[in-house]
Amino acid sequence: MADFIRTMKRVFSYARPYIIWFWLTIIFAAGSVSLSLAVPIFIGDAVDCCVGQGSVDFGELRKIIFRLLIAVVLSALFQWLMSLCTNRLAFRTVRDLRSDVFGKLQRVPLSYIDRSTKGGLSSRVINDIEIISDGLLQGFTQFFSGVITILGTLIFMLTINVKIALVVVLLTPLSFIAASQITKMTHRFYLRQSELRGRMVSFSEEYAGNQKLVTAMDFCDRAVGQFAQVNSDFSSVGANATFFSSLANPVTRFVNGLIYAAVGLLGALGAAGHSAFIGAMSVGRLSSFLAYSNQYTKPFNEISGVFAELQNAAASAERVFAVLDEEEIPDDSDKLSVNSSDCSGSVSFDDISFSYSPETRLIEHLSLDVLPGQRVAIVGPTGCGKSTMINLLLRFYDPQSGKILLSGRDSTEITRDSLRSCFGMVLQETWIFTGTVAQNISYGKPDATREEIIAAAKAVHAHGFIKRLPNGYDSVISEDSGLSQGQKQLLCIARVMLMDPPMLILDEATSSIDLRTEQRIQRAFEKLMTGKTSFVIAHRLSTIKNSDVILVMRDGNIVEKGSHA
C-alpha cells in the first residue's frame, strides 16, 4: 500500500501545473451532487402532498415539480462541466508525463537502450501511459463526485433522522474493509499484467517486423507457439486481476443491500409509529431517507471500482517511472564545445580498455594513432571489436580506462554534441523516417537549401530514382514505402554527403548496394573523403584496398597493421 500511495502521489505531481482544473472539477462536482441530493427532498415532499385519498395538494405539487426539473437540468449541466474539466486535467497531465518519458529516452545512456527491448519501451510510452490516463479519468470523475455524494447524503440523513443515520454510518466500514483487502490482492496481479503486456508488444513487434525471415526459415508454427505461451500467461494473469478486482463491486453491493434493508425496516417502524426509539417519520421523509441511503452506498461501489482502476494505473506508472529514474548521460554543457572547423582530424587511442560487461573481456590496452586525412580500414571477424571502436570514438560508450584524443584534446573534455558534429556516419542498417525525401536527406542539416539537397543526391547517384517518385523530393516515404534496401542506403549516404563533416565513419556502408552502384558510390566517397580522416569497417576488398592503413582486429586487439600492398 505504501508503494501504491507513493506512486500515485508522483503521478498527481504532474497535475500540479493544472491545479485550476482540479478546483473547477471540485466546484462543479459539488454543484452537481448538491443539486442531485436535493431531488430526494423534492420527491419526499411530493409524496407527502399525495398522502390520503382525495387530499392531493396540486398547487404545491406543481411548484415541487418545477423546482425538481430545475435541479435535474442544472445538475446535468454541472456534471458535463465537471467531465470537461476532468478531461483537461487528465489528458494534459499524461501529455506532460509522456513528453518527459520520451525526452528521458533521448538522455539515457545508449547501454540502457541496448539492453531494453524496443517493444517494451514502446509499450511504456504508449500503452502504460494510456492506462494511467484511463485511471486518472475514472479516478477524478468518480472519486470526487463519490466523496461529495457520501458527505452530502450523510448531512441530509442526519437532518431527517439522526438515529437511523448512525446505523448507516456504523455499517459502512464493512465496505471499506472488504474493498481494502481486495485491493491488496489485485495490485500484484496488475503489476505482473503490465510486465506481460510489454513482453507481448515486444514479441509482436519483433516478429511482425521480421516476418519475411520468419517465413523463410519456416519458423511460423514455432512463432505461433511461443506467442501462444506469452498470450496464455497474459490471459491467465489478466483473468486473475479482473476476477479479484471485480469482487469489490458485488461485495460492497451486498453490504449496501444490508444497509438499505436495515434503513427500510427501521424507517417503516418509525412511520408506522411502532418505535418510540426511532421516532415518528412521514412516508415522504421515509422515501427520501431510502433514496439517500441508496445514494450514500452507491459511491462506495464506484470508489471500489476506482481503486481497481488506480491499481492498474499504479502498476503501469511504476514501469513508466522506472524509465524516468534511469541514470542520465551526465550534463557536459560546461565542457569545451568545438566546431567542425576546429577538428584537424587526428585521433589517438591511448591505452584503451573496455568491455560491455565485466564478465566478458573485449578491448584491452588498445593504442592507435591516426593522422589527419588518413583512411583507416578496420577488418576482422564478427565480435572482434570493430564497431566497439566506433562506439567509443563517438562516446556512445566511455572506456573503463585510457583516453581518446581528438585533435589533441581528450574527448571527455569536449561536449558530446559538438564531438559528434565532427563526424558523419553511415551504418549498415538504414533508417528512413516518415517524411519527404528532402527531409530525410537534410536530417543532419535541417537548414539546407533545396539546391544543396539535390547536389548531395546527385553526388551519390540517388537523383535518378528520386525524380521517378510521384512527387520527387517532396514524396513522403517511410521504412515501408516500397524503397529497396539499396535506395534507402543511398539516401543515408546522401545525408552525410550533405553535412560534409571533417571525419567519416563508414560501417559496411555499401553492403546493400549492387556492384555497379557501389562503383559510383566509391567515386563519390573518394571525392567526399579527400582531406578527411575516415574510418571504414568493411569486408569487401574493393572498399578497403585504397585505404592508407588497414587494421586487422581479433578479440579486441589489433593483430596486424599496414597497407593493402
Helices (H), 325-449: 386-393, 416-420, 437-441
Strand partners, 352: 366
**Annotated domain spans of the chain:** 96-324, 340-562
pLDDT band at 149 (very low <50, low <70, confident <90, very high): confident
The mean predicted confidence, pLDDT, of the chain is: 81
Ranking 1-5, 131-135, 145-149, 380-384 by mean pLDDT, the lowest is: 1-5
For the record, the C-alpha cell of 407 comes out as: 585533435
User: Which pLDDT score is estimated for 77?
Assistant: 93
Q: Are 433 and 368 in contact (CB under 8 A)?
A: no
Q: Give the CA angle between residues 136, 140, 141 to the nearest 5°.
A: 115
CA atoms of 435 and 481, how far apart (whole Å): 11
Side chain identity, residue 83: S
Element (H, E) at 530: none
Helix axes 129-160, 283-324, angle to 10 degrees: 160
pLDDT digits (tens, 9 = 90+) for 294-345: 777 777 766 766 777 777 788 888 889 988 998 888 888 788 888 777 788 8
User: Which pLDDT score is estimated for 100?
Assistant: 92
b (16+ CB within 10 A) / e for 231-255: eebbeebbebbbebbebbbebbbeb
Q: Are 145 and 299 in contact (CB under 8 A)?
A: yes
b (16+ CB within 10 A) / e for 492-506: bbbbbbbbebbbbbb
State yes or no: pLDDT of 438 exceeds 90.
yes
Give me the architecture of the 340-562 domain, per CATH: 3-Layer(aba) Sandwich (3.40)
pLDDT digits (tens, 9 = 90+) for 452-474: 999 999 888 889 899 999 999 99
CA atoms of 242 and 476, how far apart (whole Å): 44
CA atoms of 436 and 115, how far apart (whole Å): 32
Sequence-separated (6 or more) residues with CB below 8 Å from residue 325: none
Q: Are 397 and 406 in contact (CB under 8 A)?
A: no
State the pairing for strand pair 549-554/557-562: antiparallel
CATH number of 96-324: 1.20.1560.10
Tell whether pTM > 0.75. no
pLDDT digits (tens, 9 = 90+) for 343-393: 888 889 898 888 888 777 788 888 888 888 888 888 888 778 888 888 888
Helix axes 220-271, 283-324, angle to 10 degrees: 150
